[in-house]
Amino acid sequence: MINFQNIFDSYNQRPIADFEGLSPIQMQSLLYDLFGANSVIKINNDISNENIDQVSFFRICEEFISIINREVELKLTPNGNLPKKIVKEIYDKKFITDSLFESGILKNFVEREFIFIHNAKIICKQLNLIKKQNNKLSLTAKGKKIIASNKRIEFFNMVLLYFIKEFNWSYNDGYNEEHNGQFGSGFTLFLLLKYGLESRSVQFYADKYLKAFPKILDNFPEDTVFTKQRQFNNSFSLRTFNRFLFWFNCIEITEKKSYNPSKEMSIKSSKLLTPIFQLKF
């Protein structure tokens, strides 16, 4: 009698070329249980303070709740934004810089103009570290505990996991397809861990991502200006590399400017990638 379960199990465990040698089961874990027990990628829970100090987006979150702790109650603007002096105080740490501000085009410290600060505020609120009452921000009991205990690894993991799994990456851009890049981000991490020692074009990673998830191209609308492929490439690059991986200092970026309106961007893994993420087969 044919054992269909054995056939099914054998199929799900065989390497798939379009998945870069991962099996369907391994890919399923990357998609739906990233960093879980069966995931081929794990977060290193023993990351050092020295390495955490280099993670720019986390340092912004850390600085933000430290300021809230200092102020006890931080009064917001009538629109609910951070006061300009607070945005300036955080930005002046230069954890992440803004090219428009550095070039002098952007001059005012308006919260929403600095999306990495705006996003840090959102994530700290969603993690229940801060609360808003009467248009003032203050720490929650959970936030006070994080400050008092100085458990930086725990705080770092909270921010990292929320950013990858819960925060809507499309919130920061105008692309209609909201899942591109964030869906399958574990697979992109796998690709970077596999190929990142050598500087490669973003297109190299975009092509492999699209080969694994070809149906995602169907989710982009027809456009008279940009093709579906162009919309995919731009949103994938922006969300995955310019923001997520760059903000968490997992990559080094090289931009090659030319007379072509588009810029060729190459990336390689940074020294922080493997202290944060590890392959576990």
Q: Which pLDDT value is given to residue 256?
A: 62
Is the same domain home to 55 and 133? yes
Is the same domain home to 63 and 152? yes
Q: What is the mean pLDDT of residues 110-122?
A: 97
* Whether pLDDT at 97 is above 50: yes
Give the mean pLDDT of the chain. 91
Q: Which pLDDT value is given to residue 13?
A: 72
**Cβ 95 vs Cβ 72: under 8 Å:** no
Is the same domain home to 57 and 160? yes
135 domain residue, yes or no: yes
Report percent pLDDT > 90 for the chain: 81
CATH of residue 256: 1.10.10
Is the same domain home to 174 and 223? yes
Distance from C-alpha of 16 to C-alpha of 27, rounded to nearest angstrom? 10
38 domain residue, yes or no: no
Report percent pLDDT > 70 for the chain: 93
167, 200, 216: which is the final residue of a domain?
A: 167
**Cβ 38 vs Cβ 46: under 8 Å:** no
* Whether pLDDT at 280 is above 70: yes
243 domain residue, yes or no: yes
Is the same domain home to 89 and 181? no
Find the Cα–Cα–Cα–Cα dihedral 141, 147, 150, 152, rounded to 10°: 90
Q: Which pLDDT value is given to residue 150?
A: 85
**Structural domain total, the chain:** 3
Is the same domain home to 257 and 183? yes
Q: What is the mean pLDDT of residues 195-220?
A: 95
Is the same domain home to 4 and 113? no
Is the same domain home to 13 and 54? no
Is the same domain home to 15 and 79? no
Give pLDDT tens digits for 240-276. Answer: 999 999 999 999 998 765 444 445 789 999 999 999 9
Q: What is the mean pLDDT of residues 210-215?
A: 96
DSSP string covering 179-246, please?
Answer: STTTTTHHHHHHHHHHHTTS-EEHHHHHHHHHHH-GGGGGGSPP-SSS-HHHHHHHHHIIIIIIIIIH
Q: Which pLDDT value is given to residue 260?
A: 45
Q: What is the mean pLDDT of residues 200-228?
A: 92
Structural domain containing residue 224: 170-276
11 domain residue, yes or no: yes
